[in-house]
Structure 1
Amino acid sequence: MKKIALIVFLGLIIYACAKVPLTGRSQLALVESSEIQPLVNEEYKKVLSQEKVITGTPEGQQVLEVGNRMAAVVEGFLIQEGYNDLAQTFEWEFNLLQNANVNAWCMPGGKVAFYTGILPICEDETGIAVVMGHEIAHAVASHSRERMSNGLLANFGMSVLSTAIGQNPTLTEQIFLQSIGMGSELGMLSFSRKHELEADELGLIFMAKAGYDPREAPVFWERMAAQGGEAPPEFLSTHPGPENRQQKLEQQMERAMKYYRGEL
């Protein structure tokens, strides 16, 4: 019976797998994106109500313009590559928040927040595009859904989201907040590092497709690493080491440059 149960369980896991667009990596997908989105919209509105949203300034306008430019390019690219259904799921929002933390994040569905604390490291429009491409990549790759699926599997087995909420709504909310990067990352580091490198890879392509020089990405991460010291910025706290990250970016640069030059 144990062997049969194990076979059934493994079969369900395989059935619940999806492929990351463009990279082809298999990922767990116990949760539908449509199930997550109402929670995302609620949390994003909550953040905007609690933080000061910067509008009507050159910086706020620049974040919005870069975000909209890259979102349009990414949607077109996804459609071109055969991911039309995925492209239709995004409802992009880009906001600059008055917050000294060196951070930026993107919730599922394309809800992006930049903190003013990261702008000095971005330095210019291209630097913003490096971060924007990375954050958009998290949404395209459904990293939050994957994190939440892993969290649900670890705590509730193969239960669907509605069942988990009914069993333990507090724990389910904590898993959700962790999955979108707003909760404690304890226990999620192994997933996070893998996701960060994948977001780097996709983000490099996205910024290149949008007409931003991808060669500026390693330079940005050099500036970010220089901010570290004994207490690295939150944006680096669970991320791969700067040297590893820059090495990976350089390995992917030849392909990214082809997109930048319009050869792909």
Structure 2
Amino acid sequence: MRWTHYLAIGTLSLTLAACTTSPTGRSQLTLVSDAQLNQMGAQAFEQYQQDLPAANAAAQRYAQCVADALVAELPDNQRDQNWQIRVFESEQANAFALPGGYMGVNTGLLEVAENQDQLAAVVAHEIAHVLARHANERVSTETATKMGLSVLSSASGLQGAGGQQLMGALGLGAQYGILLPFSRSHESEADVIGLQLMADAGFDPRASLALWENMSAAGGGQPPAWMSTHPSHGQRIGGLQAQMDSALARYQQAGQRPSCARP
């Protein structure tokens, strides 16, 4: 079993070498090249545009106006990414961000977000996912988890049906004990970064609370928080409230107030 010992050491060394820091100061594991992920993001965004119908021009101008105001507040090295946003015709109140700065918003979300400030809370949150390299971290965490389970399986000599059953249980434990909570931490971190960004851009950060109250009213039942990839609406609102004093101070210091016409 000596080779598994060396494999484990190699995996640990790789993990330590790939540690970076998020915008909030949290340690991250990033094993994948950003260039590779950005290319994958561009391909996925192209596929989205082929598969989903585009919204009307007024909705697109509205989302673009909000996105432009937010991106303008980013440092030069972050603002120069190929930021793009598209609005898709879909009743689902959803939005997404892909590596490389590609974002999508559904028309169903425009119904829930009642004004430009609430939409800015959504778009700023998606921009935050990109800034914090959450896609890289997510892929890297899943890769490291699978490598760890593989090493454990080989080192323990788990063979046959009993071994497969045990490895399945370990995999389930990794899913709920590592991967899902990690995703929830991404969402909470994106909420904080997005709240600061929208305030800096002159959007009222208090609108983020109203947005999630609207989402809670429209969303119906949710799975238990420990089984979800997202915090509960109540958890999100509580986290935003904890950061609100700081965000309001940034909002008061912002040098502009955007004016994006809701269609």
Give the TM-score of the pair, scaled to structure 1: 0.77
Q: Is the 8 A contact 2:222 2:232 kept in 1?
A: no
CA drift at 1:70: 0.7
CA drift at 1:71: 1.2
Aligned-partner Cα distance in 1 for 2:254–2:209: 22
CA drift at 1:263: 7.7
Amino acid at match of 1:199: A
CA drift at 1:125: 0.8
Is 2:156 the counterpart of 1:155? Answer: no
What are the residue-to-residue correspondences of 1:184-203 with 2, within 5 Å?
188-203=179-194
Indicate the SS of the match to 1:54. Answer: coil
Amino acid at match of 2:195: L
Indicate the SS of the match to 2:60. Answer: helix
Provide the residue aligned with 2:70 in structure 1. Answer: 70
Is 2:239 the counterpart of 1:238? Answer: no
Identify if the C-alpha distance between structure 1 residues 238 and 8 changes in structure 2 by more than 3 Å, giving closer, same or farther: closer
Provide the residue aligned with 2:17 in structure 1. Answer: 15
Give the TM-score of the pair, scaled to structure 2: 0.77
Identify if the C-alpha distance between structure 1 residues 231 and 249 changes in structure 2 by more than 3 Å, giving closer, same or farther: closer
Q: Is the 8 A contact 2:120 2:198 kept in 1?
A: yes
CA drift at 1:5: 5.2
What are the residue-to-residue correspondences of 1:220-259 with 2, within 5 Å?
220-230=211-221, 238-259=229-250
Indicate the SS of the match to 1:139. Answer: helix
What are the residue-to-residue correspondences of 1:116-195 with 2, within 5 Å?
116-156=107-147, 188-195=179-186
Provide the residue aligned with 2:33 in structure 1. Answer: 32
Aligned-partner Cα distance in 2 for 1:16–1:190: 20
Is 2:107 the counterpart of 1:108? Answer: no
Q: Is the 8 A contact 2:97 2:104 kept in 1?
A: yes
Size of the aligned set, in residue pairs, is 221
Aligned-partner Cα distance in 1 for 2:105–2:199: 20
The Cα offsets for residues 195-222 of structure 1, whole Å up to 9 and x where unpaired, read as: 1100100010010011001011111111
Amino acid at match of 1:43: A
Aligned-partner Cα distance in 1 for 2:239–2:221: 24
Aligned-partner Cα distance in 2 for 1:251–1:4: 45
Long gaps (5+) in structure 2: 149-174, 256-263
Indicate the SS of the match to 1:53. Answer: coil
CA drift at 1:9: 3.1
The Cα offsets for residues 42-78 of structure 1, whole Å up to 9 and x where unpaired, read as: 1110110111112422x221111101111121x23xx
The Cα offsets for residues 105-155 of structure 1, whole Å up to 9 and x where unpaired, read as: 010111000000111110111111010111111001010010011122233
Amino acid at match of 2:25: G
Provide the residue aligned with 1:212 in structure 2. Answer: 203
Aligned-partner Cα distance in 2 for 1:33–1:239: 24
CA drift at 1:37: 1.4
Indicate the SS of the match to 2:72. Answer: helix
Is 2:41 the counterpart of 1:50? Answer: no
Q: State the structure with more CA Rg.
A: 2
Looking at both structures, which has the greater relative contact order when contacts are Cα pairs under 8 Å and sequence separation is at least 6?
2
Is 2:253 the counterpart of 1:262? Answer: yes
Aligned-partner Cα distance in 2 for 1:87–1:93: 11
